[in-house]
């Protein structure tokens, strides 16, 4: 179970000056800094308890999870966000929540030796910190040392072979990518306007519809809706009744049980949300890949041709698997989208970065979704 000082955070967020803390001092995020700290510990955001196998977070650093997460070679992800004292986020139903200057998003990646015991012998590989600086978002990648005591700034990244036992008891090896700092823009860059030349760096995950879920905040708080809890802490304003907040599909039952967890009437919802998180950060009307390919996989795209139905690829090159159309409704075996999500061939697999293994449950879901679509011949 993830742990953090929930009671401390609640007191601090509500203005308690004498709230106890096991951290030495507050978070040290400077949005004016021209250089990133050499060590993750200098930010004082979090620390790893290797004995307990959990992260502990400083005051005003709130852990969270996503309904449908981005797949990254089966890595376990621990996420948290930090808002400076007195800062708030205004609720918006669409897009990433606009975090104020001085905020930080923290995402740590780890692997247990055996995924049948996911909280035992976890090895933390990296922590990525996104800082909202005065002139935009900065991404700072940190790689943990062998002692699991601290992480060092590593803008050049690395590829690491990681062996693990999956949930079925099979030994697998991920060629896990810690991205170079300049590679992060491949996924996080959006055009200012669709078809424009100017781009900006943006977070991907923390959207209201993906945060609208229950999370175990640990002792003193327990299970709470994440948006509701942020509002209670005074960090989120303008939140409507939760019944009015859209929610992405919760992928965790699918990850655990496969398609048996998806009702037939929810199949389209689940598949579109999976594509939205895993593909649409590039394949959207303002994404560079989206503009090149004219393939828009965002969940709210209603143009089935731009979604790929009977559409020839605009930029697949040799990565099309010898197939002709992005999606052939009713026929997953003839659909480039399915091929590129299930292949492990470098240069053909999608996404281009962040995976070396196929996501079994994700492929299973997309295959079932394409097969469920009313068949089309796609003949011209």
Instruction: Kindly state whether residue 195 falls inside one of the protein's structural domains.
Output: yes
Asked whether residue 197 falls in the same domain as residue 263, the answer is: no
Walking along the chain (380 residues) 10 residues at a time, the average pLDDT comes out as 37 38 86 94 95 92 96 96 95 91 96 94 95 91 95 93 96 91 57 61 83 94 96 96 96 96 97 95 79 89 96 76 95 97 92 89 98 91
Is 150 found in the same domain as 50? yes
Q: Are strands 199-201 and 214-216 parallel, antiparallel or unpaired?
A: unpaired
CB 58 within 8 A of CB 45: yes
State how far the alpha carbon of 340 is from the alpha carbons of 160, 334, 352, 356, 357, in Å: 23, 11, 10, 12, 12
Structural domain span for residue 331: 252-372
Asked whether the beta carbons of 229 and 221 are under 8 A apart, the reply is yes
CA distance 104 to 107: 10
Q: Is 377 contained in some domain?
A: no
Q: Same domain for 182 and 43?
A: yes
H helix or E strand, kind and range, residue 199: strand 199-201
Q: Do residue 326 and residue 344 come from a single domain?
A: yes
The residue among 287, 259, 283, 116 whose CA lies nearest residue 199 is 287
Distance, CA of 87 to CA of 80 (rounded, Å): 16
| 378 domain-assigned | no
Final residue of a structural domain among 243, 273, 294 = 243
Which pLDDT score, from 0 to 100, does residue 184 have? 54
Picking from 215, 243, 271, the residue at the C-terminal end of a domain is: 243
Whether residues 220 and 73 share a domain: the answer is yes
Q: Is 209 exposed, middle or buried (0-12, 13-18, 19+ CB in 10 A)?
A: buried
Q: Are residues 218 and 321 in the same domain?
A: no
231 plus 181 within the same structural domain: yes
Contact between 247 and 67 under an 8 Å Cβ cutoff? The reply is: yes
Judgement on whether residues 352 and 218 belong to the same structural domain of the protein: no
Q: Are residues 220 and 307 in the same domain?
A: no
In a domain, 1, yes or no: no
Specify the pTM.
0.89
pLDDT (0 to 100) of residue 203 = 79
Please tell me whether residue 233 adopts helix, strand or coil conformation: coil
- Tell me the helices (H) and strands (E) count for the chain, helix number first: 9, 16
pLDDT at position 354: 82
Q: What is the DSSP letter of 325?
A: B
Distance (Å, whole) CA 143 – CA 83: 23
Task: Give the model's pLDDT for residue 226.
Answer: 97
Paired tokens of 142:
């940190």
What does the block give as tokens for 72?
């990254």
Q: What is the pLDDT of residue 263?
A: 96
pLDDT at 352: 79
Are 239 and 256 contained in the same domain? no
**Domain count of the chain?**
2
């Amino acid at each position: 179970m993830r742990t953090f000082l929930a009671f401390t955070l609640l007191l601090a967020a509500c203005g308690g000056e004498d709230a106890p803390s096991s951290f030495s001092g507050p978070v040290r995020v400077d949005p004016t800094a021209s250089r990133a700290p050499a060590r993750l510990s200098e930010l004082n955001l979090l620390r790893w308890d290797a004995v307990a196998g959990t992260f502990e977070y400083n005051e005003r650093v709130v852990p969270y999870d996503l309904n449908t997460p981005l797949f990254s070679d089966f890595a376990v992800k621990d996420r948290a966000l930090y808002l400076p004292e007195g800062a708030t986020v205004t609720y918006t139903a669409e897009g990433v929540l606009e975090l104020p200057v001085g905020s930080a998003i923290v995402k740590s990646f780890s692997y247990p030796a055996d995924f049948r015991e996911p909280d035992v012998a976890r090895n933390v590989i990296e922590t990525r910190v996104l800082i909202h600086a005065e002139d935009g978002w900065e991404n700072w990648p940190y790689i943990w040392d062998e002692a699991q005591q601290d992480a060092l700034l590593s803008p050049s990244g690395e590829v690491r072979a990681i062996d693990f036992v999956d949930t079925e008891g099979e030994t697998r090896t991920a060629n896990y990518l810690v991205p170079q700092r300049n590679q992060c823009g491949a996924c996080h860059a959006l055009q200012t306007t669709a078809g424009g030349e100017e781009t900006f760096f943006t977070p991907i995950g923390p959207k209201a519809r993906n945060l609208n879920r229950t999370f175990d905040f640990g002792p003193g708080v327990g299970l709470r809706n994440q948006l509701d809890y942020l509002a209670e802490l005074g960090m989120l304003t303008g939140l409507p009744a939760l019944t009015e907040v859209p929610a992405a599909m919760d992928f965790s039952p699918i990850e655990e049980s496969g398609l048996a967890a998806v009702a037939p009437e929810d199949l389209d919802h689940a598949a579109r949300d999976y594509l939205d998180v895993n593909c649409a950060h590039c394949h959207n009307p303002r994404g560079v890949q989206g503009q090149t390919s004219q393939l828009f996989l965002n969940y709210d795209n209603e143009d089935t041709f731009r979604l790929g139905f009977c559409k020839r690829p605009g930029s697949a090159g040799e990565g099309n698997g010898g197939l002709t159309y992005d999606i052939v409704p009713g026929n997953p075996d003839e659909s480039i989208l399915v091929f590129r999500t299930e292949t492990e061939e470098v240069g053909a697999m999608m996404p281009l970065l962040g995976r070396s293994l196929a996501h079994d449950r994700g492929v299973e879901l997309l295959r079932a979704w394409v097969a469920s679509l009313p068949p089309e011949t796609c003949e011209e």
